[in-house]
């Protein structure tokens, strides 16, 4: 849900900025790219849930699923970019930025937890001395 909110805000900002520069469609296509990235992330989660539910999950099945999904998403993004060029390139930039947002939104909670654990470890050492 948080990623959806971030995508909506980024789409609004991109559309506003592109509109001020006279290219509103670039912002809209950027938003479409973010939606494609979000859809891909949701499909990954669903795929992982389904594959790991098996008694003996296969790496090959996961790899094939990932490759197929990435191929389809790439073809969709590049097709939109080609048909609606040059504004359609916003889709490619949206898809790329979504990956950055996904990594950051995944890494930040982990980093916070690690810092909290490190701080707890330092406090524990100070009380032992």
pLDDT confidence tier of residue 101, bands split at 50, 70 and 90? very high
For residue 34, give Cα distances in angstroms to 39, 84, 96, 119: 9, 17, 8, 36
Structure confidence at residue 59 as a pLDDT band (50, 70, 90): confident
For the chain, what are the domain ranges? Answer: 2-116
pTM higher than 0.85 for the full model? Answer: no
The answer on pLDDT for 128 being more than 70 is no
Residue-by-residue DSSP string for 8-62? HHHHHHHHHHHHHTT-HHHHHHHHHHHHHHHHHHHHHHHHHHHHHTSSS--HHHH
Instruction: List pLDDT tens digits, range 5-46.
Output: 999 999 999 999 999 999 999 999 999 999 999 999 999 888
Q: What confidence score (pLDDT) does residue 4 get?
A: 92
């Amino acid at each position: 849900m948080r990623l959806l909110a971030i995508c909506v805000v980024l789409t609004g900002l991109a559309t506003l900025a592109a509109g001020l520069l006279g290219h509103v469609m670039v912002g809209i296509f950027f938003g479409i790219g973010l939606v494609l990235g979000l859809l891909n992330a949701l499909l990954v989660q669903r795929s992982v849930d389904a594959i790991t539910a098996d008694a003996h999950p296969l790496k090959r099945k996961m790899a094939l699923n990932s490759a197929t999904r990435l191929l389809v998403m790439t073809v969709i993004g590049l097709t939109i970019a080609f048909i609606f060029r040059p504004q359609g390139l916003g889709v490619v930039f949206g898809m790329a930025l979504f990956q950055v947002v996904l990594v950051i939104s995944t890494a930040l909670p982990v980093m916070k937890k690690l810092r909290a654990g490190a701080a707890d470890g330092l406090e524990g050492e100070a009380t032992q001395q």
